[in-house]
Amino acid sequence: MSVSTLMIDGHEVAMAAGATLLAAAREVGITIPTLCHLEGLSPVAACRLCLVEIEGSGKLEPACITPVLEGMVVRTDTSRLQDYRRTVIELLFTEGNHVCAVCVANGHCELQDRAVDVGMDHSRLPYRYPDRPVDLSHHLFGLDHNRCILCTRCVRVCDEVEGAHVWDVGWRGEHCRIISGLNQPWGEVDSCTNCGKCVQVCPTGALFHKGDTAEEKHDDSSQLVALVRARQARQVAP
Amino acid sequence: MDPNPTSPAGARRTILIDPVTRIEGHAKITIHLGEDGSVEGARFHVTEYRGFEKFCEGRPFTEMAAITARICGICPVSHLLASAKTGDRILAVTIPPVAEKLRRLLNLAQITQSHALSFFHLSSPDFLLGWDSDPARRNIFGLIAADPELARGGIRLRQFGQDLIERLGGRRIHAAWAVPGGVRNPLDPADRDAIRARLPEAFATTKAALARFKGLLDGPLAVEAATFGCFPSLFMGLVGADGRWEHYDGKLRLIDADGAVLAEALPQQRINEVLTEAVEPWTYLKFPYYKPLGPEDGSYRVGPLARLNVCERIGTERADAELLELRQRGGRVVTSSFHYHLARLIEILAALEAIEVLLDDPEICCRHVRAHAGVNAFEAVGVSEAPRGTLFHHYRVDANGLIEAVNLIIATGQNNRAMNRTVTQIARQHIQAGPVAASGNEAAEISEGLLNRVEAGIRCFDPCLSCSTHAAGQMPLHVQMLDAGGAVLSERWRS
């Protein structure tokens, strides 16, 4: 197994070829903020929150999908990156309708946590207040498009872990949104197994347990990590 | 709302009080004078609009309690309870008995803290420091300097209510603890004991305030008691079993000024069949009235005085003794709006006694506090008694529970016509017809004491304009006197 040695924020780290910069940073205790990334699901680099600077490269690269290379010099927390990350979070807040005070996920929301991490005390961008629907057709769960940040964790977990592939991304640009069963009401999608994994991995209050009121969604997406690891362990066991 | 409304017919000049101070929300008062300088009429204008009824459309009904609680920072509990009760009916469930007791406890805490705020913080500076005292000192800070013991007691009494709300719901303001089907968490025995330990002090403060205020009513405040909104009207409020004082659930009783029962149990689920809301172009606050009697005769008062008027008795010893004394003072049906203040103190006493009873209930810490169900009814009304009066939440939902229509009938709206009559009555009492008032040299005529009395007429009702127009605002005071053409003759500002 070949190993690459690189520098991240002044820390020397040796990683197996194929490992990502995100994994390398975590190896040496450096936290790079993420939203769409979740261990156990394939990376998509959608949220752009984990962008890092690589010496010699003119463009920023997402740490979640960029493989380590020998001799890389990486910076994860420059003032430029801090400003970009805050802007990314502000874009997410202003693009949807995120009203934390009355949200089911208030206090247990990864978007809210990242906003705190990047120091977003207000938005420098104007709010768009889009008119988006809520789908309560499923008998157990609800989908509020106002709170969706299009991280696609639900799409990936349903396809890659549950194997049901209920979710997709429909439309384009500002009309882009998560759709179930090729754009049917969620409650009418026969392929849904009601497993709730999509709700569990949703970083915001977009997917929730029906009947939940403000602050009642306490799902922990890291539980999926344990599930995936247990499955992998079973597969490699003799 | 028309920002420059025309004066009533016959009025030749207008005195404008804008905004009204020491109330919760943003409003102004105009006093319209005729040719001879006498008061033609007075209007209480609510000048803000928020639109909760519109933007709640499309939301899950389960979120409505948390959303509507955000209408107000003073009485979020009232909206929480009315919304949760509406949600219970959409689920079509009977909530666990202990959940109802805990909701009652929450509402009693709310009544205590809100009434304490109204009496001690907002209104008592007028009574204790004087109507004509320096406006810069005529507030809670002036009261602290003049009577620290009473001020401290009042502040701590409000804190007692807030503390109970926090121990039940996890936070003092906007605790989204009551939910369709019950409440989120049971009461911890340690919290029950901590609240019980504070009751003696709360009783002592209330007793002292009652004695002090009744003494003032027999002396320097006798004139105000006779002239601040003293007129016959209908009264509406919930009553419990055997006609007892009620604040959470029960029959909705409507009486006239003689105490005759016009309706023993208004149909709460079809409330729009008996109550309707009139709209005027000069205010965002609607005018609900009892449909069968029309907008004038059908207007009614709600709130602490109405609740004490519609009930037969309170049902607890100390509060019943005070109710008897109130009726000896004002008759079986007390029609002076100034007695809202005394009614508020009596309700604090009633609330404390009821809290004591509930805390001693052996099942109050039972852990089964929530019923679960799906959507079983598509339209429902939830009714509860907010500190300021009867509160209605009316929702229509689709088969999945998404809100299609919302109507909120707020206590302050129901007192709207009474507030307008009250400011008119006070203005007529204190502005006399005469050549000076009519001459156009009125600056000296708009005395600070007059302004304060007119405002105090509104404060009797402890209006919550944030709730009633679903509005918020800062409240310095602006007074204008306008001639018949609308030109400003004189002006005063209080910042």
User: CB B62: neighbour CB atoms within 10 A?
Assistant: 27
In the block, which residue shows the tokens 């999926």?
A: A224
Nearest to A214 among B176, B180, B372 (CB): B176
Nearest to B66 among A137, A210, A214 (CB): A214
Distance CA A30, CA A77 (A): 10
| Domain edge (last residue) among B335, B352, B384 | B335
Instruction: Answer whether residue B312 is part of any domain.
Output: yes
Residues A136, B402: C-beta atoms closer than 8 Å: yes
Structure tokens at B18: 């804008």
Q: pLDDT for A107-129, tens place per residue?
A: 999 999 999 999 999 999 999 99
- Could you tell me which residue, B405 or B461, shows the higher pLDDT? B405
Q: Which residue of A has its CA nearest to B399?
A: A137
Domain A93-236 classification at class level: alpha beta
pLDDT score recorded for residue B467:
54
- Could you tell me which residue, B270 or B495, shows the higher pLDDT? B270
Contact status of B152 with chain A (Cβ, < 8 Å) = no
Nearest to B67 among A102, A136, A211 (CB): A102
The reply to whether B362 and B471 lie within a common domain is no
Contact B390, B383 (CB under 8 A): yes
Give this complex's ipTM: 0.87
Contact A26, A41 (CB under 8 A): no
- CB contacts of A210 in chain B (<8 Å) are 60, 62, 401
Q: How many residues does chain B have?
A: 495
The reply to whether B118 and B201 lie within a common domain is yes
Task: Give, in order, the Cα–Cα distances in Å from A60 to each of A63, A90, A152, B349.
Answer: 9, 19, 22, 67
What are the extents of the domains in chain A? 3-77, 93-236
- In the predicted structure, residue A230 carries a pLDDT above the cut 60: yes
Instruction: Answer whether residue B413 is part of any domain.
Output: no
Q: pLDDT for A216-229, tens place per residue?
A: 999 888 888 888 88
Distance CA A155, CA A134 (A): 18
- In the predicted structure, residue B212 carries a pLDDT above the cut 80: yes
- In the predicted structure, residue B54 carries a pLDDT above the cut 50: yes
- CB contacts of B179 in chain A (<8 Å) are 213
Q: Which residue of A has its CA nearest to B397?
A: A136
CATH entry 3.90.79.10 includes domain A3-77: no
Contact status of B244 with chain A (Cβ, < 8 Å) = no
pLDDT score recorded for residue B340:
95
State CA B147 to chain mean position distance. Answer: 26
The reply to whether B261 and B226 lie within a common domain is no
Report the SS3 class of residue B20: coil
Distance CA B292, CA A91 (A): 54
Contact status of B374 with chain A (Cβ, < 8 Å) = yes
Instruction: Answer whether residue B123 is part of any domain.
Output: yes
Q: For chains A and B, what is the number of CB pairs under 8 angstroms?
A: 43
Distance CA A189, CA A152 (A): 18
Contact B224, B136 (CB under 8 A): no
Distance CA B101, CA B1 (A): 42
Region A87-102 average pLDDT: 96
Q: pLDDT for B76-126, tens place per residue?
A: 899 999 999 999 999 999 999 999 999 999 999 999 999 999 999 888 888
The reply to whether B223 and B353 lie within a common domain is yes
Q: Identify which of B80, B62, B63 has the alpha carbon closest to the alpha carbon of residue B71.
A: B80
Nearest to B59 among A134, A137, A210 (CB): A134
State CA B271 to chain mean position distance. Answer: 20
Q: pLDDT for B22-44, tens place per residue?
A: 565 667 777 777 777 777 777 77
Instruction: Answer whether residue B198 is part of any domain.
Output: yes
**Mean confidence (pLDDT) of chain A:** 94
Q: How far is B63 from chain A (nearest CA, A)?
A: 5
Beta bridge partners of A168: A179
Q: B319 pLDDT band (50/70/90 cuts)?
A: very high
Residues A211, B58: C-beta atoms closer than 8 Å: no
List the single best residue of B61, B62, B83 to mutate versus A (max A Cβ within 10 A). B62
- CB contacts of B66 in chain A (<8 Å) are 101-102, 213-214
The reply to whether B171 and B141 lie within a common domain is yes
Query: A167-179: b or e for each residue (b if 16 or more CB lie within 10 Å)?
Result: bbeeeeeeeebbb
**Mean confidence (pLDDT) of chain B:** 85
The residues of A whose Cβ lies within 8 A of any Cβ of B are: 101-102, 104, 133-134, 136-137, 139, 142, 187, 210-216
B121: DSSP letter: I
Contact B332, B363 (CB under 8 A): no
Nearest to B70 among A101, A210, A213 (CB): A101
Contact B122, B462 (CB under 8 A): yes
Residues A142, B60: C-beta atoms closer than 8 Å: yes
| Domain edge (last residue) among B335, B358, B381 | B335
The reply to whether B255 and B320 lie within a common domain is yes
The residue type of B470 is H
The reply to whether B222 and B357 lie within a common domain is yes
The reply to whether B329 and B442 lie within a common domain is no
The reply to whether B102 and B176 lie within a common domain is yes
- Could you tell me which residue, B339 or B447, shows the higher pLDDT? B339
Q: How many domains does chain B have?
A: 3
Q: B472 pLDDT band (50/70/90 cuts)?
A: very low
- CB contacts of B58 in chain A (<8 Å) are 133-134
pLDDT score recorded for residue B373:
95
- In the predicted structure, residue A130 carries a pLDDT above the cut 70: yes
Share of chain A above pLDDT 90, in %: 88
Residues B63, A213: C-beta atoms closer than 8 Å: yes
Residues A214, B59: C-beta atoms closer than 8 Å: no
The reply to whether B107 and B128 lie within a common domain is yes
- In the predicted structure, residue B441 carries a pLDDT above the cut 50: no
pLDDT score recorded for residue B217:
92
- In the predicted structure, residue B271 carries a pLDDT above the cut 80: yes
Share of chain A above pLDDT 70, in %: 99
- CB contacts of B62 in chain A (<8 Å) are 210-213
List the single best residue of A213, A215, A216 to mutate versus B (max B Cβ within 10 A). A213
Residues A101, B174: C-beta atoms closer than 8 Å: yes
Region B331-338 average pLDDT: 94
Instruction: Answer whether residue B393 is part of any domain.
Output: no
- CB contacts of B176 in chain A (<8 Å) are 102, 213-215
The reply to whether B200 and B252 lie within a common domain is no
Nearest to A213 among B70, B179, B401 (CB): B179
Which range of residues forms the domain containing residue B465? 13-50+421-494
- CB contacts of A212 in chain B (<8 Å) are 62
Distance CA A208, CA A100 (A): 14
Residues B374, A139: C-beta atoms closer than 8 Å: yes
pLDDT score recorded for residue A238:
65
| DSSP H or E segment with residue B77 | helix B76-91
The reply to whether B219 and B102 lie within a common domain is yes
Q: Identify which of B394, B406, B453 has the alpha carbon closest to the alpha carbon of residue B270.
A: B394
Contact status of B51 with chain A (Cβ, < 8 Å) = no
| DSSP H or E segment with residue A185 | none
Instruction: Answer whether residue B77 is part of any domain.
Output: no
Q: B476 pLDDT band (50/70/90 cuts)?
A: very low
